[in-house]
Amino acid sequence: MKVEKKVFGTQGEYVYQLTNDHDLTLRVTNYGARVVSLKWEKAEQEVVIIPGFASAAEYRKQDVYFGATIGRVAGRIANAKAELNGQEYQFDKVEGPHSHHGGFQGFHNQLWQATYTIERDQIHFIFSYTSVDGESGYPGKLNVAVHYYLTNTNEWRIQYEAKSDQDTFFNPTNHAYFYTGLHEKTNHAVRLHVKASRYTPIQSDGIPLTIASVANTAFDLRDDSGVDLLACLASEDEQIRLVAGIDHGFVLDKREEDEPAVWLDTPHYRLKMFTDRPSTVIYTFNGADEHRNMDNQLICQHDVIAFETQVLPDAVHHDNFGNVILKKDELFYSTTAFQFLIK
C-alpha cells in the first residue's frame, strides 16, 4: 500500500494518490476534501469507477460539487432560511431563493488539512477543517473531520466526525459520481437496487414536497435482481420527467447488518453501499447539455450517478424528514462504505 502526493493547483491544493495491494487507486484532494477519482488497473485494462478532473482549476470551472464533501447541510433548504432556538438564520441563496449544499463557502470550496497513516491492510486518510461561526449563515464554530479508508478488501469507507460550540445545523454528505456509461449502450444493462419503500417527490426547483410510497412508481427500485436503470430513466413517470431523471431522496428501509442499502451493477464493476444514515439522495446527472470531459472521456447525461447519504434535504422545514440539529458539544459520527468488485 502506498500514498503519493502531487501539486493539484496554484492556491495550496494537493492531490494524494492512495493505492492498495490490488491496484485499486483512490485519488483525493484537500480542495473540498474531495475524491478526484477511483480506478482499477486489471490485466492492463483501466476500469474507471469514479471519474475526475485533472486539476483544482477544472473543478472550479466545470463543477465544484464533483466528488466533494458537502456541508454544513447537504441538499436544498427552501427559501434559504431556518429557525433554531427561536432565532431565524439566513443562508446563502445559491439556486434562486434557495440554499444548496452549504452555500458559497460550503465545505466543497475550502482547503482542508490533510494527514494519513498506512496501516497493515488499509490506508487511513484524514481531512480536517474548522468552519467559523457565521460561515454561509450557519451558527457556531464547527470542527469537522472526514476520514477516508482504502482497504485491501477493496472498500472505500467514509467516516464523518464533528463538534460545534453552539447548537447548529449539520447534515454532511459526499458527492462522488460513479460511472455508469449508459450512453455506451452495451449488451449488459446497468441495474440498480435501492432498499427503500418511500421517497420524496419534489417540485420543479428540487424542493421536496412530502414522503410518499415508491409503490407503482418508477422509484420502486426494490427488486432483488435490480431495476434496469436506462428503462427507469426513460419512464413516463411524472417525477422522472420533471427533472429528466432521478434527483430524489429515498428513505432507507431497515436492513440486516451485512445487507447493502444500495447496489449498482455495471458492465465493468459492481458496487455495494452500506450506511448508517437514514436516507440517500440519488442523482443521475440529468442535464442533457451538461457534458464533462473527465479522464479523457466525455461524460454525457446519465453517465454517472451519485449516492448522497444523509438526512432528507430540507428537513429543517419538515418535522417527519429527520433531525439535522447538532447540539452544542455533541459529537456527530457517521459512516458510509462502498465495496467494489471488478468484472
Whether the Cβ atoms of residue 338 and residue 155 lie closer than 8 Å to each other: yes
- Catalytically annotated residue among 101, 193, 302, 308: 308
Q: Is 302 a catalytic residue?
A: no
**Amino acid (one-letter) located at 80:** A
- Catalytically annotated residue among 175, 193, 248, 302: 175
Q: Is 175 a catalytic residue?
A: yes
- Complete DSSP assignment for 214-247: -TTSTT----TT-EEHHHHHT---HHHHHHTS-E
10 Å Cβ neighbour count for 109? 18
Of 110, 66, 73, the residue nearest 91 (C-alpha):
73
Q: Which residues are annotated as a binding site for beta-D-galactose?
A: 175-177, 247
> What is the rounded distance in angstroms from the CA atom of residue 29 to the CA atom of residue 98?
28
- Complete DSSP assignment for 239-276: HHHHHTS-EEEEEEPP--TTS-SEEEE-SSEEEEEEES
Q: Which residues are annotated as a binding site?
A: 175-177, 247
Q: At 314, list the grid cell.
A: 430540507
Q: At 4, list the grid cell.
A: 503519493
| Helix locations, the chain, DSSP H | 56-62, 229-233, 238-243
Residues marked as catalytic: 175, 308
